[in-house]
Structure 1
Amino acid sequence: MQEQSIGAMLAAARQAAGLTVAQVSAATMVRESIIQALEQDDVEQGGGAFYARGHVRAVAKAVGLDPEATVHLFDQQHGGAPRPMPASAVFQADRKIHLPERRGPNWTMALGVALAVAVVFGMLRVLGGASDHVRTGDMHAASARPSVPPNTPITETPRPKPSKTAGKNMVTVRMKAKRSSYVNVHDAKGRKLFAGTLKAGKTSTWRAADRVDVLIADAGAVTVHVNGKRVRGLGGSGEVVRRSFLPPKPQSR
């Protein structure tokens, strides 16, 4: 099966978020006709691929997808990012540039500058010698051992012991792609763990505390194991799925 197109991904994410085209248009200031064209992979109606990149970024953010990863996937499916305009197209090559005529050296000014530099250098050497003595004295004073009252026991700050509960609230998610699919992974605090296309045959593992939130653009393209157990009934082919996974429950004794 072919990789899911950007238009199908945007449409699926919008429907999964429960948004209409009119609501996305109001949130992004992108016309409804352009959003409908993007969902049908028509980039010419909005002015071509150059302008479509900005529309894709805005719509992806509104429907809950990662804007940068979605634009990167858009560039892959439409021949790469637009090339920057060369400087030769902005500046005219035949325009003549008039440079001022070079005059002979001003020896009087050069002599004055050299004399000023010599005076400043001499002052710096004098001041530098005094500062060296000051720094040396400070260094000797700092190297002396602090006085300790007699019969005072020397105690060390105890190191904190590792918590026995560390690792019990961790969630481990391992995902393998049977075919390429867009995947977005966040932890319980909303920090991004991964956002992009998981290529066919690749396997990735993420580990976070308390909870791992996952968005999969094509649930039928991947297999997921959480805390070592495979997740069954994740979703069908081409189905956009949002799931949250929690730490394993403690076993009763």
Structure 2
Amino acid sequence: MSIGNSPEDDRPSVDPSPEDDRPSIGRALQQARIAAGLTVDEVSSSTRVRIPIVHAIEQDDFSRCGGDVYARGHIRTIARAVALDPDPVVAQYDADHGGRPAPTPAAPLFEAERIRPERGRPNWTAAMVAAIVAVIGFVGFTLFNGDDGNKDNHVAEGPAPQQKPTPTKPATTKPTNPKPDPSDSAIAAVPKDKVTVKLSVLDDKSWISAKSHNGKLLFDGTLLKGESKTFQDDERVDLILGNAGAIELYVNGKKVEDQFETGQVERLSYTKGDPEVG
């Protein structure tokens, strides 16, 4: 009986993949945060991602994000806050969760405001014109009947002396001031001493947060497809867009041409002047 190597000894050894040695997404974000000297509270304040969600992401728990779209947005925002390149981290998340997800409806965090149409005001001008026409018709009818009665008396009593008609002055009408034509869009007449921001949701829906320069909350909720919101402030308007790719943005009457991605979370600030100034 010969002693030799077993077949198992002839199998090639498998070196571990370099990707297996890389830390998890949560561990990588946590290490970058600690290296940057930041606390979880400071990361939450700078990214507007709630503290429990930051803790959960650092533990590789993405169930509290509200879906893959928001999870990718939170990961990208936190990575930027801790000075970490967000693209490889997001790519790692996509690889761990079956690839980049298709756009999905955003989670309804808040009920959007219901835009109620204003009640139509009564048209007093038309009512006054109708009343004047009725009065003129009544006076004319009374005078016409009075003339018929006088004709009957003239036949019975004889011809009445002719009276010279009193000259009447032609009625003068005051020229009406022409009304200015309405502008094509209300956003085209924005005041120059304020900053005006208009948001319109073209498709899907998006969570919006807007604040004034002194931190006053102007709006915090979800806009549905086809809905719009306009915000004004004396100095600055700060925005957080939850699903920026679904939004059309106008600043001080000019359209912002930035191409935002679907599901991307954007933090923006605009001041008076052109969008580039903001």
Provide TM-score, normalisation by structure 2.
0.35
Bigger Rg, structure 1 or 2: 2
Provide TM-score, normalisation by structure 1.
0.38
